[in-house]
């Protein structure tokens, strides 16, 4: 099975007055596992369905493997798809479900049985081939749906939130299984989800959509460590990045309700900025750090989460130490300036640092 690159250009679609895809340009590299991530209503499903040919975009083109398929009906695009509710044919057995497309494609019985057998083996469905979908568990149905898609040996595999109907434990198992399948098959895979954990664990490449626009595209680590906007910062990671309002004064950045540190960004003086800091990058117990009052603490066994306040601002800290904190206690928070992302408070866009000189957060007064 060869993989094919997919290119989407200028794709736009509106339902009534709501714009679900706003002039999207996205490249999906051949053989890559790309996760299209975003909150509900961001246009991710519409994008997937436009690629599959189930939805017609108002404007724009779709190329698969270099060929323009914008006007091609779905069955001739070389895509196979796994639906959110699996869409198994209720009156057909598992093997008939997997083999239906092969039969329509005119494959002879022998070849069909071989491919069904292969897909069944790959997914551990061997004992279930004669059952009806109603006799299967949710996880098994999911496997059949995936088997139906891969048995067709298409160049492109599309997944529309396929794990959202499974319970947490099964979802985790299927994640690992899907990644293994992808590595074995090597087809170009587009996987739509609203779950950032799925995106972080599965993807070679993430496309984060919001309001019909690409917020950021890149590797999971790039999105995690260098979010391009406050939206990305808040969407990726559990718990998400802390966003604190601050001002840019002279050479310093002054956090509202707390201390300040040397600015390493170019910004208009006295401009309002947001600083983003991951909960795990905060040091709780730095004598020079800024004061924060503990509001609540959760112990998750492997690590602890503290909800604290700096002035009026809520800040979340995770740490794996053994020390416990109680409500009302004062923390001394500090973090390395390298762990910080600065955003324009109005546009929400990241301001690139001009210096990577390590500097620590200082509680009182910024020294030049």
| Options 84, 164, 245, 360; binder of another protein; rule CB under 8 A | 84
Question: At which residue do the structure tokens 């319970």 appear?
Answer: 167
| Nearest CB to another protein, comparing residues 159 and 361 | 159
Question: At which residue do the structure tokens 């596992």 appear?
Answer: 33
CB of 74 to another protein, least distance (A): 5
Size of the site for another protein (CB under 8 A): 27
Site for another protein in 44-83 (CB under 8 A): 49, 52-55, 73-75, 79-81, 83
CB of 151 to another protein, least distance (A): 10
| Options 19, 29, 30, 87; binder of another protein; rule CB under 8 A | 87
Q: For residue 158, give the 3-state DSSP assignment.
A: strand
| Nearest CB to another protein, comparing residues 97 and 210 | 97
Burial class (CB in 10 A: 0-12, 13-18, 19+), 300: exposed
Task: For residue 248, give every residue at least 6 positions away whose Cβ sits within 8 Å of its Cβ, in sequence order, or none.
Answer: 254, 263, 265, 267, 268, 269, 270, 271, 272, 273
135 scored as a contact of another protein (CB under 8 A): no
| Options 90, 126, 301, 328; binder of another protein; rule CB under 8 A | 90
| Nearest CB to another protein, comparing residues 42 and 232 | 42
| Options 15, 127, 322, 358; binder of another protein; rule CB under 8 A | 15
CB of 185 to another protein, least distance (A): 17
Strands 272-277 and 242-249: antiparallel
Q: How many beta carbons lie within 10 A of that of residue 284, not counting itself?
A: 20
Site for another protein in 152-191 (CB under 8 A): 152
Are 268 and 248 in contact by the 8 Å Cβ rule? The answer is yes
Greatest distance between any 2 Cα atoms in the chain: 79
Question: At which residue do the structure tokens 């794996």 appear?
Answer: 320
Q: How many beta carbons lie within 10 A of that of residue 172, not counting itself?
A: 15
CB of 55 to another protein, least distance (A): 5
| Nearest CB to another protein, comparing residues 212 and 227 | 212
CB of 189 to another protein, least distance (A): 15
Site for another protein in 91-130 (CB under 8 A): 91, 100-101, 104-105
CB of 341 to another protein, least distance (A): 37
| Nearest CB to another protein, comparing residues 96 and 113 | 96
Sequence-ordered alpha helix ranges (H) in the chain: 44-52, 94-104, 109-123, 138-151, 168-185, 196-202, 220-225, 230-235
Q: How far is CA 290 from each of CA 146, 305, 314, rounded to the nearest angstrom?
A: 52, 18, 14
| Nearest CB to another protein, comparing residues 78 and 259 | 78
Q: How many beta carbons lie within 10 A of that of residue 328, not counting itself?
A: 8
CB of 49 to another protein, least distance (A): 6
Handedness of CA 315, 320, 321, 325 (dihedral sign): positive
CB of 17 to another protein, least distance (A): 15
Per-residue x/- mask for another protein, residues 206 to 245, rule CB under 8 A?
A: ----------------------------------------
Q: For residue 143, give the 3-state DSSP assignment.
A: helix
Cα 176 to its chain centre, rounded Å, is: 16
CB of 174 to another protein, least distance (A): 19
Q: How far is CA 211 from each of CA 13, 118, 192, 228, 238, rounded to the nearest angstrom?
A: 12, 41, 15, 16, 22
CB of 98 to another protein, least distance (A): 10
Q: Which residues bind another protein (CB under 8 A)?
A: 15, 49, 52-55, 73-75, 79-81, 83-91, 100-101, 104-105, 148, 152
């Amino acid at each position: 099975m060869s993989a094919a690159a997919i290119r989407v250009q200028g794709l736009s679609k509106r339902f009534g007055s709501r714009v679900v895809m706003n002039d999207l340009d996205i490249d999906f590299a051949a053989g890559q596992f790309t996760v299209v991530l975003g909150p509900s209503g961001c246009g991710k499903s519409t994008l997937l369905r436009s690629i599959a040919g189930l939805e017609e975009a108002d404007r724009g083109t779709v190329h698969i493997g270099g060929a323009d398929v914008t006007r091609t009906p779905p069955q001739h695009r070389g895509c196979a798809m796994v639906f959110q509710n699996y869409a198994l044919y209720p009156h057909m057995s598992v093997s008939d479900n997997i083999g239906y497309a092969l039969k329509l494609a005119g494959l002879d019985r022998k070849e069909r049985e071989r491919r069904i057998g292969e897909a069944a083996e790959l997914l551990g469905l061997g004992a279930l081939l004669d059952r009806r979908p109603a006799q299967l568990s949710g996880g098994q149905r999911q496997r059949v749906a995936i088997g139906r898609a891969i048995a067709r040996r298409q160049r492109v595999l599309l997944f529309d939130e396929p794990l959202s109907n499974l319970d947490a434990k099964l979802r985790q198992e299927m994640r690992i299984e899907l990644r293994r399948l992808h590595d074995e098959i090597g087809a170009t895979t587009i996987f739509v989800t609203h779950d950032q954990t799925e995106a972080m664990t599965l993807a070679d490449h993430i496309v984060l959509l919001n309001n019909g626009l690409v917020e950021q595209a890149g590797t999971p680590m790039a999105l995690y460590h260098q979010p391009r906007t406050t939206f990305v910062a808040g969407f990726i990671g559990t718990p998400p990045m802390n966003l604190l309002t601050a001002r840019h004064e002279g050479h310093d950045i002054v956090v509202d309700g707390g201390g300040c540190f040397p600015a390493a960004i170019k910004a208009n003086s006295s401009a309002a900025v947001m600083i983003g800091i991951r909960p795990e990058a905060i040091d709780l117990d730095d004598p020079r750090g800024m004061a924060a009052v503990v509001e609540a603490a959760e112990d998750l066994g492997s690590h602890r989460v503290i909800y604290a306040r700096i002035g009026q601002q809520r800040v979340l800290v995770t740490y794996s130490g053994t020390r416990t904190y109680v409500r009302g206690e004062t923390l001394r928070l500090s973090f390395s300036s390298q762990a910080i992302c600065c955003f324009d408070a109005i546009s929400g866009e990241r301001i690139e640092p001009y210096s990577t000189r390590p500097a620590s957060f200082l509680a009182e007064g910024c020294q030049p």
